[in-house]
Structures are given as C-alpha cells and as structure tokens.
Amino acid sequence: MISMQRTDLAVELREELDTQEMIPGVHVSTKINRDNDMKETRIVIDSKQGADRLGKPMGTYITIESEELRCSDEDYHEPMSESLFRHLREMLGSKRRILIAGLGNRAVTPDALGPLVVDNLYVTRHLIKEQILRCSYEISAVSPGVMAQTGMETQEILLGVIREVKPEVLVVIDALAAGNSNRLNKTIQLADTGIAPGSGVGNHRKAITEETMGVKVIAVGVPTVISVPAIVDDAMDVMLEAFGRNGTRQAMESFTEKERYQLACEMVEPYLANMFVTPKNIDEAIKRISFTISEAINRLQRSYN
C-alpha cells in the first residue's frame, strides 16, 4: 500500500515498500561512484501492476544523489552536471528539437528552480533558423509561470507553444516535494513519464505527459520542500533508535507507513499538517542547483553522437 506521505520521488515510494520484496514489473538498479560520492538509482516500471503498486506511471525514473550538491563548492557541479547530461542524452535518443519549460513561480524561491534554469540556458533555435549557427540540438525555452500569475493552466500554455514551435521533445524542469528530509537539495530525478505540477504539495494541476502534449515529455526535478508531518515521521525514527529494543519500539515497528504518517499528522496542529517547509539556505541552493542543471542541458550543444 502506498503511503499517505507526499513525495514526488519514485525512489522514496519504492523504499516505503518492503525492500526485500520483489515487485512484479518494477526493476531497480543502483550504481555508486565513490570517487564523486554520487549514487544513481534507476527504477523501471514496465507493467500496470508495478505502476499501481508503486503509484507512478510506467516508465523510467533515474535518481542522482550526492551530499556534495548541498555544498558551496563551485567545482562540484561538474561531475553532477556530467551525470545528468549522460542520462538526459540517453532519454532524448535521436530527438534533436527540444523545448525546455521552466515550471514554477519565480517569486517563490523554493519554486523558482525551473525559471532560473531557463535563465542560464544557451538557446539556439533562433540562431539555427537564421543560419547563424550549426548545433547538435535545436533548443528553445519558456517559463510559463503559474496559474495565479497567468490565469491559465501551464499545460494550456505549453500546448500553444508546442503547436507553433513543433519540438520533438518537451523537457520540463520543476521543484519537487520530498518525503525524507535527507534528500532535500541533494537529489535530482529524471523521468520519461512527464509530470503533474504541484502534485507533491497537494496542488494538482493538469498533467504534462506525452498523452496530453502530443510529444515525448522528460521531467527533471529537485526536491526543495518537505511536509511538516514528514519531518515528524523522520524524528520518530531517531526517537525509536534512542528507545532501543523495548516495547515502544516494537509497537511502532508494527505500524504500516500509512499508519505512521497518520500518527505524524495527528501529532501536529491541524494547520501544520498541510504546511511545507524548506531549508534556510534555499536561496543559495536554488541558484547553485539551477546552474548545475542548466550546464547539463548546455552540454548537449558540445556533444556529438
């Protein structure tokens, strides 16, 4: 059973299930690069049964994690950017006309990842059309804003742009919600299944997928917020470690993930149960991570298959 806990990360949804259990239609592989302190997890869902069990559409989900992404070391973005570039190029395949959509609200820092990535992109569509430049990829970009700013669904805006620009693939960049505080600002997820903007924080908008957009959709996201009950749930794990092997710990271990999250919701004030928080250094983190992602996309122009 999928937890009530709100998360956009496929790797967390998999962890919420019994890790020893083989789930039909869900295949997980992990690669650890100790030189760069980087962990890459690939989850492939290839059956409806697996999709229903995990609560994610069928497709491929790649998670890149590193504690170094949280650090202010300006040189570290290189290996992270290189890893993201490799996986992105693999998902793009032979497609060359790319529309990048930076989703989110530029005025709200934890939600500004998408627009900031677009700010740092090297767009080439206009240069190629004017025969000023020859590039491996034709890249155009847009920051559609949010419904509160435009009165329009992001999906509606992108459909109009796609009709005019006619890209072969849409790459959407968005901030995500995590279910584990240890993954905030240190995790990048790629998915070839598209995205439902705002789903992690309970603000459901129209889905942006291949079915709704008419072109392949690749989603790139970073978890920047976490719910208060999820933090309480994390704290309960620390508390249980302090208890050791006593009756309280044994009783808590008998709870399902759904029951634990429900308990966490009941332990906080009602208005806190729907509150999401972000780390205090989010301004610096968003600028740094957005640059890492934009550099991965810009690397496409320097690559040749």
- CATH code assigned at 153: 3.40.50.1450
Q: Which domain holds residue 265?
A: 231-271
**What's the mean pLDDT in 279-284?**
91
Say what the pLDDT of residue 57 is.
93
Q: Are residues 175 and 262 in the same domain?
A: no
Say what the pLDDT of residue 133 is.
83
Q: Are residues 83 and 172 in the same domain?
A: yes
Residue 275 has pLDDT above 80, yes or no: no
DSSP character at residue 130: T
Q: Are residues 213 and 116 in the same domain?
A: yes
Say what the pLDDT of residue 254 is.
65
Q: Are residues 82 and 214 in the same domain?
A: yes
Residue-averaged pLDDT of the chain: 85
Whole-angstrom distance, CA of residue 60 vs CA of residue 216: 13
Residue-wise pLDDT tens digits, 137-175: 999 999 999 888 899 999 999 999 999 999 999 999 999
Cβ–Cβ < 8 Å for 102, 114: yes
Whole-angstrom distance, CA of residue 247 vs CA of residue 233: 19
Residue 178 has pLDDT above 50, yes or no: yes
State the angle between helix axes of 282-298 and 77-92 in degrees (0 to 180), rounded to the nearest 10. Answer: 50
Whole-angstrom distance, CA of residue 214 vs CA of residue 218: 13
Q: Are residues 100 and 65 in the same domain?
A: yes
Strands annotated E in 143-182: 169-178
Q: Are residues 120 and 135 in the same domain?
A: yes
Q: Is residue 135 part of a domain?
A: yes
24-31's contacts with Cβ under 8 Å and 24+ in sequence apart are 24/49, 24/50, 24/53, 25/49, 25/50, 25/51, 25/53, 25/58, 26/50, 26/53, 26/54
Q: What confidence category does residue 305 fall into, taking pLDDT thresholds of 50, 70 and 90?
A: very low
Q: Is residue 127 part of a domain?
A: yes
Amino acid at 288: R
Q: Is residue 2 part of a domain?
A: no
Task: Name the residue with tokens 């956009």.
Answer: 8
Burial class (CB in 10 A: 0-12, 13-18, 19+), 188: buried
Number of folded domains that form the chain:
2
Total-model pTM = 0.85
Q: Is residue 4 part of a domain?
A: no
Q: Is residue 1 part of a domain?
A: no
Say what the pLDDT of residue 128 is.
87
More confident residue, 254 or 43: 43
Q: Are residues 134 and 246 in the same domain?
A: no
Whole-angstrom distance, CA of residue 205 vs CA of residue 247: 44
Angstrom distances, CA of residue 52 to CA of 58, 169, 257: 9, 26, 17
Among the residue ranges 19-33, 104-118, 257-271, the one predicted with the least confidence is 257-271
Q: Is residue 282 part of a domain?
A: yes
Q: Are residues 239 and 186 in the same domain?
A: no
Q: Are residues 127 and 188 in the same domain?
A: yes
Q: Are residues 20 and 156 in the same domain?
A: yes
Q: Are residues 137 and 250 in the same domain?
A: no
Q: Are residues 45 and 154 in the same domain?
A: yes
Q: Is residue 224 part of a domain?
A: yes
User: Could you tell me the two tokens for 50?
Assistant: 């697996």
pLDDT > 90 in the chain, percent: 57
Q: What are phi and psi of 246, to 5 degrees?
A: -120, -175
Q: Is residue 36 part of a domain?
A: yes
